[in-house]
Structure 1
Amino acid sequence: MKILKNERGYALVTVLLLITIFTVVFLAFMGQSFGSVKQNQVVEKKSKSVAAAEMGVSLYQVAVQNFFETKLEDFKKIVPPTQSDFKVRAATQLATDIQTAFRAKYPINNKYYPISGDSNIAITNKKFTATSNSNKILISFSVMGTEKMKDTILDGEMTIDLSPSIYKAIEKPNPPDCTSYSSSCKEILVGSGSINTGNNMVDQKIFSTGNLTLNGPVNNMDGMKIHGETIYIDGNAQHVKNSTIESEGDMTVNGHLTPPSGKDPINLDLFVGGNLTVLGKFELTSNDSRKVYVKNGVKVADKMEIGSNYTVCIKGNLEVPKGVDIFGKLYLMGNIIGSYNGPYTKITEGELPADIQTKCGPTFTNPTIETLINNIVYK
């Protein structure tokens, strides 16, 4: 009997020990669970305030885009886009106009309630400044999102680049062979100014970081790559073939721009960020796919022809008083002023179909607003 009683005593101790252990584990588990629930509630509240702040960033982008487009059109009525310093002057004036208009609509430290009837979610403009640097508008902002007394501040920057240098068809020489023109140099880097190239330029790259004038004529051009902020060819550019010309702004040819004699293909790619003016004939022919992109309008003093292998995209008007023959693809947002023979595609303002963006690149797109969030502060 003594042995049995001792065994019962040991069993009781063992049971009590197990109960104690399970109780401690249970309490620890419950404490951790309550802590997790509380932590998740805090994170959820922060997430909601972050969402409110991000909503504010989206609101800023839409407002800035609308102000920019409206103010730009107003500025064009005062300063013609054809002026060489248009981009710099526009960036300077529009930075001031956008800052004034934005602060008037969303005053500093005033709450804005984006959801009608819900006062728990608010957006506050903590800072908004707009400055200019050359062709760019630089915006620095700070927006606070609030959800039930929980705040999140997002600091960020927006950039609007007014430069129409969006094609990037010709890379800047790095390093160049020469910094002044010579027929013996393959890659030439120059600033603004005039250069005397003469006829028969072959297999060279001329890259100007400013306004480029080619004292013409510049006939018999073959395998050339020419880039400039603006380009003015003072004379004919006849018998051009296998070349690429890119002007960030306006381009003018004071004469004819035509293929070699006998209707051999011109094989010319042409990218113009401003207006294109040809004070003579403008004939585009090619034995492979080629393109002409013009961000503004085109004026041709004499006859114009678009060959069957050409894709021509023009955002402004096409002025052809002596008419245009269209055998290839013409995509036009403006109007044809003059007679024309052949079909073309009319582009309307608004969201572009994907196939048009593929065919015409960024010809019909407006300057974009790039936004960078560089700091997040929880409160």
Structure 2
Amino acid sequence: MMKRLKHEHGFALVGVLLVIVLVTTIGLALMPLANNSLKSSQMNEEHQSAFYIAEAGMNMKMAEIEEQIYGVYEDTSSELDFYNKLASELVITDYRYDEFEKVKNVKPFALIDVKKVEGTKNQFEIISTGHSNKQSRTISLSFSADWEEKFKKIPYELPDLAVFVKNNLELDNNATIKGNVGTLKSVEQSIYLGNNAKITGNKVEKEKESFPELPEFPVYPDDFPKEPNIVVKKNNKEKYEINYSQLISEIHLSNNSTLTFDVGKSDKEIVVNQLHVGNNGKIHVKGKGKLTIYIKDEMSFDNNSALNDNGELNDLNVFYQGNNRVEFSNNVIINGSLYAKSANIILSNNGGIYGNIFTGGAHVTFENNSLNNSQLILAPNAQVTLSNNSKVKGRVFAKNTILGNNSSIIFDTPLVIDGPISAENLGASDREDSLVETGATPTVKKTPVREVEK
């Protein structure tokens, strides 16, 4: 019996040893798994930390940018200066932000880029990459900064005059003005009627301060992307989508060709060195936005050509910086407003502009059945001449005005009453306190943050 108990104690010892070996083996087997799990947890923590670091860097930089935007706004007096200075001051590369506590003796940091969105004047993107140990994550945010006018003009009210001259008004050979006329000189010295000419309204002497000034001619944008020339061959029809404002050296339409500009849902601008439209050529404007065309050197329209003939009158503004005379004759139609910086303008043989006409030139001539409806013609340095059955329906404000050979001016309210080439943008010469502060600040808009691959 005693021998049997001794053998059982031996078996118990062996069993205990086996259990210890088994537990040790399992423990050793689980150690790499536990170690991998720990490493994975640390990597996930660092990965998430990298995102927070990128976000913190972006928030810091965005707050700094907003202060810069307000500072630039305070330091600039025009929209163009504001956008140019923003582009020069906001754009940066590899800006390092490392105001963080060390983690395992390694200092986290964020690298930040700010870039201007191509083809825009006021849109930017911030890209922030957070680095935590060996992990990194990148996020992006887009923002825009809009100029708001610091001052606004005291609204200028167009006087109820069919014709308003600085110097002289002459009518001859059955010419007619239907409406009131005004002059800065005495009526007796400045208004002449001959050969069945007549004025149906009153003749009044006005104060010098009431004569409107031309609005400042715009500085053409020079930072738009450059695009290839647009050439439409004879008898062809082409559609050109304007997805962003742009520079185009030349637009040339051959005879009987058609070009459709699609501006989409927003206003667009194009800067063109030369614009030529051949016989029966047509340029249409399509979309919900408005189109502004800045022409530098030359513009010409041949017989029966048209610009925006089927579009809305308020959707087209054309600025012409060249010195060559601009002629619209032989059924040429411009359905929009024109501002010529210094060029003389001729409209003849059923040619017409149906929007407003502003010019700093010396001569504006309507002849041979030229018909122009509901316009404001502002030519403070020019002699405006109407002859041979030409008609203007609207208002003519000029240095001098001459009507002859059955021509007429009929008082009417301009169809284009707002925009850059309209009465809304006018001031009157020598007016005191013509500007009032708006109290405006620039408008900053931001998109939600999104993670990007880098």
Do both proteins adopt the same fold according to a TM-score greater than 0.5, normalized to the shorter chain? no
- Bucket of the pairwise TM-score, normalised by the shorter protein: 0.3 to 0.5
TM-score after normalising by structure 1: 0.38
Q: Which has the higher contact order (CA 8 A, sep 6+)?
A: 2
| TM-score normalised by L of structure 2 | 0.33
The structure with more helix, counted as a fraction of residues:
1
Higher-strand-fraction structure: 2
